[in-house]
Structure 1
Amino acid sequence: MQTNLADFIRNTPDGDEADSILRKCVHCGFCTATCPTYQLLGDELDGPRGRIYLIKQMVEGAPVTRSTQTHLDRCLTCRNCESTCPSGVQYGRLVEIGRKVVEEHVARPPGQRLLRRLLASFLPNSALFTPAMRLGQHVRPLLPKKLRDKVPARQPLLEWPTAHHPRRMLMLAGCVQPSMMPNVNTATARVLDALGVETIVAPEAGCCGAIRLHLGYNDEALDDIRANIDAWWPHVEAGVEAIVMNASGCGATVREYAHLLRGDPAYADKARRIVELTRDICEILPEFEESLVALTRRRAVHTVAFHPPCTLQHGQQVRGHVEQLLTALGIEVRLPADSHLCCGSAGTYSLLQPTLSYTLRNQKLERLRAVEPQLIVSANVGCIAHLQSGTSIPVTHWIELVEHMLSA
């Protein structure tokens, strides 16, 4: 695809990157076959190829319209198209550039601006989010269904391990996960503890940056990222083996740190080192497979459906690890039809695009139920909460299942 960038973006980092990505696109349309919004809406402009054309027009100086903003807003950023693309088009990075251009040129309606500002200020701030979530859980039966769907029931808390081990790994606690699903972090630490690895959480580390980044608050997102690097860096210098991610949405963003801070001389090298150390928990545990087989025993759950989050299979290009590990532990893992498609959660998407989001959720649940599981497991807090709100089948993080299987 030939491009002729407009003056406002020519010879800028975003312009150079957009130009490089656009030139890789050969208009083949393979991406439309795996795009959830194109499948639902049937509009070329609600598929990756159409959105690429819209972004190309913008960076070449065409008027930026509210219609363009709407089509880009509808994108889940699931990056399924990247897995499909034979030309290696990095669509996820391109659409973020496109969204930045739109935000600079098109004023949103007041209601949208207020909602997006509230989400960007509230969700990443655990000092605000945690007490609000606890209050919501306390009065959950009284909440309207739409709000109740966003508030997972409170669970009995697991005990955090206290043993010290020579092997140490950092873990990002996250911003919403500690209050929504705290046992995911604890289960991760308990499994690693059983394998002789100490889990360290840097309390100064907070949101990975994804929420503000995808809402268009780029400078604030970069501040979140720098704060995490500052919190982690003493532990990196002390020799931690890895930075463990158990929320694949966070992992996908942290793996972009080097790219996001490539122009920051104070943080570029540190960001590259953070990316080198970052691994999803499903990438770490295969090293310990034999030990886990010896330490675990079969429980009542023996058949699960696995929903691989888009941020794991497309964003991080990590596939097969969860299925292989659970199978080795004696669990029958069933993948639903179209397991490559998004469940509709996509961070704040379910709040900003509820009709599309819940349609995708219901489609995903129909396919998950079709494999007749006792339990649905996934690898991202947003997907788990989104799916659980629409089914009576328990939905949990797969690491919680592994922890449950540990012998006493």
Structure 2
Amino acid sequence: MRTDIHVKYLDHPEIQEAEAILRSCVHCGFCTATCPTYQELGDERDGPRGRIYLIKQMLESGEVSEKSQTHLDRCLTCRSCETTCPSGVRYGRLADIGRGIMEQQLPRPGGQRLLRWVLRKVLPYPSRFGPLLALGRLGKPLLPAALAAKVPPAQQAGTWPATRHPRFMLALGGCAQSTATPNTNAAAARVLDRLGIRLQQAPDAGCCGAVSYHLSAHEEGLGFMRRNIDAWWPLIEAGAEAIVISASGCGAMVKEYGDKLREDPAYADKARRVSELARDLSEVLADEDLSRLGLAGQGRKTAVHCPCTLQHALGLGGQVEAILRKAGVELTPVKDGHLCCGSAGTYSVLQPTLSQQLLTNKLAALTAGDPEQIVTANVGCQLHLASKAQVPVKHWIELLDPRD
């Protein structure tokens, strides 16, 4: 795709990267076949190819429109298009750059700005999100049905193993997961303990930066990344084998720290090392001898939801299923596993109507095999699915937890 960037953007620090991505697109349209929003809306501008043209138009004309912003807002950034694309177009990165420029050029209405600001100032901070979640649970009977469904029940994490194995890995505590589903990392710690691995959290680490970064507050997102690197670095120097991430959305971001901070002289080398050490929990389990867990399945038919970040961003589709089959779990078939559930970070809050349509479609696919439970690999998907599912929704590691 030929480009002719407008003079006003020539000095933009990310413009060369954006231009290279635009030029790699050959407009074949294969991406539209796997784009969830295009499948729902049937509008070229609500598919990857159309959005690429809208970003190109903005960068060449120097003009930004509310319509273009609306179509980019509707993008889930699920990156299913990247899995399909024969040319290797880095659409997710282009969308981040395009949205960031649009955010600077076109002020949003006050209500939208406020909602996005609240999401950035609450979700990444457990000390803020936790009390609000507790308050929501107390007032749940008084909330409207649609809002009450989004409030997850309190979850007990159980005991974190105190064993000090020679092998140790770091865990990303995260933000929403640490308060909404605290049993996920605790279960991971118990499973890894039985495999001879100590899982350790760095107290000063927190949100991976994805919430801010994907809401176009790029510098704020980079600040979260630097804080995590500072928190992890002494433990990395002490011999941590890996940084284990049980939320695939966070994992996709941490694996990009090296790229995001490559121009930062103080953090570039450390960020690259952190990205090298970052591993999704399924990657860790796939390399271990699971017979040591002594499992023979849980006796319950299970549907696996593979988050977009796990299959498209991390390229680990099918890995969780393979681990669970090895453990003896009976899996039910799931049609159209590549399509998004509609959670997509803050998408379910910012685009509630479209998000609910995608959720309905996903639950129909997941429950077609009459499972007794659903498991997933990302906290946002877990909470979103659980808000409407008629069967329990868990993180997949809980099926391997010796506590159960």
Q: Is the structural similarity TM-score above 0.5?
A: yes
Contact 2:8 2:62 (8 Å CA) reproduced? no
The structural deviation recorded for 1:129 is: 0.7
Contact 1:208 1:253 (8 Å CA) reproduced? yes
What is residue 295 of structure 2 aligned with on the other side? 296
What is residue 114 of structure 2 aligned with on the other side? 114
The structural deviation recorded for 1:394 is: 0.6
Distance 1:397 1:63, change over 3 A: same
* Aligned counterparts of 1:92 and 1:157: Cα–Cα separation in 2: 34
Matched length: 404
Structure 1: runs of 5+ lacking an equivalent: none
Contact 1:309 1:378 (8 Å CA) reproduced? yes
SS at match of 2:61: coil
What is residue 369 of structure 2 aligned with on the other side? 371
1:343 aligns with 2:346: no
Q: How does 1:240-389 map to 2 (within 5 A)?
A: 240-292=240-292, 294-301=293-300, 303-389=301-387
* Aligned counterparts of 2:202 and 2:400: Cα–Cα separation in 1: 24
* Aligned counterparts of 1:95 and 1:298: Cα–Cα separation in 2: 41
**Residue type at the aligned position of 1:29:** G
What is residue 223 of structure 1 aligned with on the other side? 223
**Residue type at the aligned position of 1:50:** G
* Aligned counterparts of 1:270 and 1:6: Cα–Cα separation in 2: 35
* Aligned counterparts of 2:101 and 2:157: Cα–Cα separation in 1: 44
The structural deviation recorded for 1:257 is: 0.6
**Residue type at the aligned position of 1:150:** K
What is residue 127 of structure 2 aligned with on the other side? 127
* Aligned counterparts of 1:256 and 1:359: Cα–Cα separation in 2: 30
What is residue 57 of structure 2 aligned with on the other side? 57
* Aligned counterparts of 2:99 and 2:358: Cα–Cα separation in 1: 23
**Residue type at the aligned position of 1:44:** E
Structure 2: runs of 5+ lacking an equivalent: none
What does the per-residue CA deviation read over 1:51-83, in whole Å, with 9 as the maximum and x for residues that have no partner? 000111111134111111101000000000000
Distance 1:194 1:366, change over 3 A: same
Per mean C-alpha deviation after superposition, the further-off stretch among 154-163 and 204-213 is: 154-163
TM-score scaled to structure 2, two decimals?
Answer: 0.97
The structural deviation recorded for 1:143 is: 2.5
* Aligned counterparts of 2:199 and 2:109: Cα–Cα separation in 1: 45
The structural deviation recorded for 1:159 is: 1.1
Distance 1:71 1:10, change over 3 A: same
What does the per-residue CA deviation read over 1:66-125, in whole Å, with 9 as the maximum and x for residues that have no partner? 111101000000000000000000000001111011111111011000100011111111
Per mean C-alpha deviation after superposition, the further-off stretch among 276-285 and 326-335 is: 326-335
The structural deviation recorded for 1:6 is: 1.6
* Aligned counterparts of 1:348 and 1:325: Cα–Cα separation in 2: 29
* Aligned counterparts of 1:142 and 1:89: Cα–Cα separation in 2: 47
What is residue 141 of structure 1 aligned with on the other side? 141
SS at match of 2:169: strand
The structural deviation recorded for 1:317 is: 1.0
The structural deviation recorded for 1:404 is: 4.8
SS at match of 2:289: helix
* Aligned counterparts of 2:34 and 2:248: Cα–Cα separation in 1: 20
SS at match of 1:216: coil
What is residue 399 of structure 1 aligned with on the other side? 397
**Residue type at the aligned position of 2:63:** P
* Aligned counterparts of 1:391 and 1:152: Cα–Cα separation in 2: 12
The structural deviation recorded for 1:12 is: 4.0
TM-score scaled to structure 1, two decimals?
Answer: 0.96
What is residue 210 of structure 2 aligned with on the other side? 210
What is residue 185 of structure 2 aligned with on the other side? 185
Contact 1:307 1:335 (8 Å CA) reproduced? no
Contact 1:149 1:386 (8 Å CA) reproduced? no
What does the per-residue CA deviation read over 1:150-178, in whole Å, with 9 as the maximum and x for residues that have no partner? 21111233111111110000000100111
